[in-house]
């Protein structure tokens, strides 16, 4: 299997920066060359600030893929599955490039983000930047620990990475979905703790899962715990982090998987609910404001983007000024 980008399966960090870009007309050849160099840039800073556990991920938007790489496309890559039911919405946005920079030092993230933007700036529009942070012992801003039931150890790779059998050409890659959720913490904080715990199906302080009998059908962990036809849990690898300031707070939801279908099935179960209309009551207190789908290709794929024909195409665009010598 090809080598995956290290950030996909990495353990959580203290700080994150998410950069979302659209590519300007006619700049794709430059972007191919630039993206091929980003893993080396991440590696260089990971080495320089070795205690910061820096990781980076580069991903290509589903709707931009064909322009970016017209010859071949990951088998299952599709636009973000927008959904709407009553006041529960999952909007979809067109974003060409996703860059995730995480580490345990905010200054390191800042330096690396600046370098990424320097590299890309003449060819992209920065659509959105989200700064995220670890909150207490890995909690969402609702106060509940997020990530407890995430796959662990080798299972992280199994869940997140495309294998040779699934799609040989894109092995080592991963299907990525993001959503920026905005919480209504004023409303959330008016409800008593037991009701909050019912919303998640777990206890708040000590993070114990409710028993099956206790767990409401509307609990988030009920709606997001779905079995496939063989009776196996449908898993995704979540790398979400809280974000916010004194005006707006929420969760930057990030999920990696070896198929985009898992995310779609879980989101459908949250928004539309079961046959009896039991939807996810967490959605009464938070709302997705954005959503986008990407593919994060392997390191081998990114390296192969740099080639002579690209270099010829980008003559005159200033690619020769991109160096790693900072
Ligand atoms: C504001 C948005 C969200 C918040 C605050 C949130 C928070 C949480 C929390 C606190 C847990 C329990 C602990 C854990 O196992 O991680 C959890 C579990 C989970 N969440 Fe979310 N989540 C959000 C959105 C989503 C979305 C959009 C999906 C998938 C489409 C999702 C999928 C899951 C899964 C698969 C679990 C594990 C369920 C289990 O097996 O118990 N979450 N989430």
> CA separation (Å) from 97 to 43, 47, 178?
20, 25, 12
Residue 104 has pLDDT above 70, yes or no: yes
In a domain, 325, yes or no: no
In a domain, 293, yes or no: yes
In a domain, 260, yes or no: yes
Options 140, 146, 198, 280, the catalytic residue = 146
The structural domain count of the chain equals 1
Active site residue 146: yes
Residue-level pLDDT at 65:
98
Q: Which residues of 223-242 are buried (b: 16+ CB within 10 A; e: fewer)?
A: bbbbeeeeeeebbbbbbbbb
- Model pTM score: 0.96
Q: What mean pLDDT do residues 94-123 have?
A: 97
Residue-level pLDDT at 320:
42
In a domain, 2, yes or no: no
138-194 residue pLDDT tens? 999 999 999 999 999 999 999 999 999 999 999 999 999 999 999 999 999 999 999
User: How many whole angstroms separate alpha carbon 171 and alpha carbon 165?
Assistant: 8
**Distance from Cα 200 to the centre of ligand 1, integer Å:** 8
In a domain, 321, yes or no: no
Residue span of the structural domain in which 138 resides: 15-316
In a domain, 26, yes or no: yes
Residue-level pLDDT at 1:
86
Identify the CA nearest to 177 among candidates 251, 254, 245: 254
Residue 308 has pLDDT above 70, yes or no: no
In a domain, 214, yes or no: yes
**Banded model confidence at residue 10, pLDDT cuts 50, 70, 90:** very high
**Distance from Cα 45 to the centre of ligand 1, integer Å:** 32
In a domain, 5, yes or no: no
**Distance from Cα 221 to the centre of ligand 1, integer Å:** 6
* Residue 241 in contact with ligand 1 by CB distance below 6 A: no
Strand pairing of 292-296 and 174-183? antiparallel
């Amino acid at each position: 299997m090809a080598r995956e980008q290290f950030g996909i399966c990495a353990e959580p960090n203290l700080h994150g920066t998410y950069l979302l870009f659209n590519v300007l007309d006619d700049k794709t050849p430059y972007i191919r060359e630039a993206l091929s160099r980003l893993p080396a840039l991440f590696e260089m800073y990971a080495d320089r600030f070795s205690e910061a556990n820096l990781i980076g991920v580069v991903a290509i938007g589903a709707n931009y893929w064909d322009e970016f790489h017209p010859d071949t496309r990951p088998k299952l890559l599709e636009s973000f599955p927008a959904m709407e039911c009553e006041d529960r919405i999952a909007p979809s946005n067109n974003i060409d490039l996703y860059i995730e920079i995480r580490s345990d030092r905010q200054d390191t993230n800042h330096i690396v983000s600046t370098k990424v933007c320097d590299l890309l700036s003449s060819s992209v529009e920065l659509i959105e930047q989200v700064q995220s942070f670890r909150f207490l012992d890995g909690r969402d801003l609702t106060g509940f620990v997020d990530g407890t039931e995430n796959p662990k150890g080798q299972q992280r790779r199994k869940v997140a990475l495309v294998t040779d059998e699934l799609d040989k050409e894109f092995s080592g890659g991963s299907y990525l979905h993001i959503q920026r959720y905005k919480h209504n913490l004023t409303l959330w904080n008016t409800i008593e703790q037991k009701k909050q715990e019912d919303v998640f199906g777990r206890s708040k302080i000590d993070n114990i899962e409710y028993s099956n009998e206790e767990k409401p059908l509307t609990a988030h962990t009920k709606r997001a715990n779905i079995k496939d036809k063989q009776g196996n849990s449908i898993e995704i690898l979540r790398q979400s982090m809280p974000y916010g300031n004194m005006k707006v707070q929420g969760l930057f939801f990030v999920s990696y998987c070896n198929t985009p279908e898992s995310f779609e099935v879980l989101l459908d179960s949250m928004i539309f609910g079961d046959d009896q209309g039991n939807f996810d009551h967490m959605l009464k207190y938070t709302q997705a404001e954005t959503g986008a789908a990407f593919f994060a290709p392997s390191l081998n794929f990114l390296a192969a983007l740099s080639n002579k024909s690209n270099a010829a195409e980008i003559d005159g665009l200033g690619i020769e000024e991109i160096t790693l010598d900072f």
